[in-house]
Amino acid sequence: MQLPGTAHPGHFGLAVREYSHSTAPNRRFPDLVTQRLLKAALAAKAVTYTPEELSALATHCTKQEDAARKVERQVRKSAASQFLSGRIGEVFDSIVTGASNKGTWVRVLNPPVEGRLTGSPTKVEVGDKVKVRLTRMDTVRGFIDFVRSDGSN
pLDDT beyond 70 at 74: yes
Mean pLDDT of 25-33: 71
Among 1-5, 29-33, 59-63, 101-105, name the one with the lowest average pLDDT: 1-5
What is the number of alpha carbons within 13 Å of residue 110 lying toward its C-beta?
0
Distance between CA atoms of residues 76 and 69, nearest Å: 11
Domain 91-148 CATH assignment equals 3.20.20.70: no
> Could you report the per-residue pLDDT of 85-126, keeping only the tens digit for each?
889 999 999 999 998 888 899 999 888 899 999 986 578 889
More confident residue, 18 or 74: 74
DSSP string over the chain: ---TTS----BTTTTBSS----S-TTT-HHHHHHHHHHHHHHTT---SS-HHHHHHHHHHHHHHHHHHHHHHHHHHHHHHHHHTTT-TT-EEEEEEEEEETTEEEEEESSS--EEEE-S-PPP--TT-EEEEEEEEEETTTTEEEEEESSS--
pLDDT beyond 80 at 19: no
Q: What is the pTM of this model?
A: 0.62
Mean pLDDT of 25-44: 81
Residue 26's pLDDT is: 44
Confidence of residue 25 (pLDDT cuts 50, 70, 90): very low
pLDDT beyond 70 at 17: no
Return the domain boundaries, the chain. 91-148
Burial of 113 (0-12, 13-18, 19+ CB in 10 A): buried
Distance between CA atoms of residues 42 and 85, nearest Å: 56
